[in-house]
Structure 1
């Protein structure tokens, strides 16, 4: 599979990675799926300490026991929780970030994290302190690179100005084109890579879209508008690629995007996503046609 450099770092990631949030808690099934992903060229695995309150990391760690060197491993921190207690709260303090990293290392059964990410963030955060925590962890060799997972333009701009982040994870798809207006060019110009989550818009950009679309639609799309837009996409995609491949190729078309991380909970989903690696890239004309039938959404409340 094609791989791309993550920012200016030494890390290179497969253009299609695996987001593990939807893996579930069946260890045998989840581990088998991770192994299948790696066997089919995936070298980027993304998890978070909050997913199933640490259990997801434990499963990922078990799956990578003999395959750690085969992947770039990413996880996230910032949501403070205690195992056995309900709920969590936002905590971007240096103390928590460092403690969370140690817990993640233990659960993931590794001595370092390749990409450690802040799992959110607001403009009211002690951003300088948070950056200091990541920089110290990097100096200590406990992490290789760090990034943020955010869709808040004001927060992202602060990290672009003040930090040495390698990446920004953000939701990006044909149905969520918000990053195009403010973020993608900015990040590309600063040699910061985008990790695109949600590239299939919760399954609404697959051939099963009629089953996946919700009554309340998606972002500023009504249910009817989602169906109408995807119907038009089905005409644009042509015979060379299916809807899933078209959606993934669209997110990968911008040079800022290093990898897309569609989730998968079944082998069939995983393999369907991975067929995109062999599909032809979208032409400039196809990209313009896709933009013409979809909305140029903008960030509203996420400031």
Structure 2
């Protein structure tokens, strides 16, 4: 599988990574999915300390221990769950980040983390303190590079101006094109996008509206009412996906933008993963195909968390 550079780092990741959140807690099944990924050239695995409250990191670490030097392991920090009785709370403090990384290293059974990401953020955060923590972790050898996972414009601009992040993880799909507004700014800083949610909760998979939840049926999806969603998916299928699966069209659309280093759909089975691998290994979209799907879909903007 082709690889792309994250930002200006020396991390070259498969153009599709494995979003590990959907692996579940059945370790045998999770290892089958990870092994399928490895056999098909995927070298980028994205987890978080929050997923299954640390269990996901343990499973990912166990599944990758024999190939540690051949893969890029990414995890996230900031959602603190070890001092509350239920759920979690946001804690981007330097003290917590520098403590949590050691717990992640232990669960992953690795000596360093290739890519460490701040798992959210608000404009009220003390970014100077958080960035200082990540920079010190780099110097101390606990992490190689760092980034953020955020869709808040004011957070992204603030961190870009003060840090050496290499990417911003953002929800990005044909039904959520909001990141396109920020591509020029990110390119200027040599910062990549890691695209999560590229299949829009399955709406852009072959199952399309059969994947719509009751909430989507009632409220629509982002800027699309449910009737609009029905219409846009029908139009995409009829006018843009003649010779491609919906999965392929959706994943190739994200990858058509050079700002995107990798797409990271999740997979809950080897079969589902293979479908996505086949999709990203298909031919890139032509300029005409990109023009068609951009004409059919909305270029939305983030309305909140702006200066």
Instruction: Settle same-fold status: TM greater than 0.5.
Output: yes
Equivalent positions of 1:153-232 (< 5 A) are 153-181=153-181, 183-213=182-212, 214-215=216-217, 216-232=219-235
Equivalent positions of 1:121-140 (< 5 A) are 121-140=121-140
Cα distance in 2 for partners of 1:50, 1:3 equals 27
Cα distance in 1 for partners of 2:226, 2:107 equals 40
Q: Structure 1 residue 264 and structure 2 residue 267: aligned? A: yes
> How much has 1:289 moved relative to structure 2?
1.0
Alignment-derived partner of residue 279 in structure 1: 282
> How much has 1:84 moved relative to structure 2?
8.2
> How much has 1:109 moved relative to structure 2?
0.5
Q: Structure 1 residue 297 and structure 2 residue 300: aligned? A: yes
Superimposed CA distance per residue, residues 64-114 of structure 1 (whole angstroms, 9 cap, x where no aligned partner): 111212211000000111178312111100000011100000000000000
Alignment-derived partner of residue 147 in structure 1: 147
Cα distance in 1 for partners of 2:99, 2:220 equals 39
Q: Which moved more, 1:116-125 or 1:217-226?
A: 217-226
Q: Which runs of 5+ in 2 are unaligned?
A: none
Q: Which runs of 5+ in 1 are unaligned?
A: none
SS in 1 for 2:73: strand
Cα distance in 2 for partners of 1:235, 1:25 equals 39
Alignment-derived partner of residue 242 in structure 1: 245
Cα distance 1:83–1:52, how it changes in 2: closer, same or farther (>3 A)? farther
SS in 2 for 1:290: helix
Does structure 2 conserve the Cα–Cα contact (< 8 Å) formed by 1:6 and 1:166?
yes
SS in 1 for 2:4: strand
Cα distance in 2 for partners of 1:139, 1:84 equals 31
TM normalised by structure 1 equals 0.97
> How much has 1:158 moved relative to structure 2?
1.0
SS in 2 for 1:66: helix
Superimposed CA distance per residue, residues 227-257 of structure 1 (whole angstroms, 9 cap, x where no aligned partner): 2111111123344321100100101111110
Give the aligned CA root-mean-square deviation in angstroms: 1.2
Counting matched residue pairs gives: 302
> How much has 1:302 moved relative to structure 2?
3.7
Does structure 1 conserve the Cα–Cα contact (< 8 Å) formed by 2:177 and 2:300?
yes
> How much has 1:301 moved relative to structure 2?
2.3
SS in 1 for 2:48: coil
Q: Structure 1 residue 78 and structure 2 residue 78: aligned? A: yes
SS in 2 for 1:9: coil
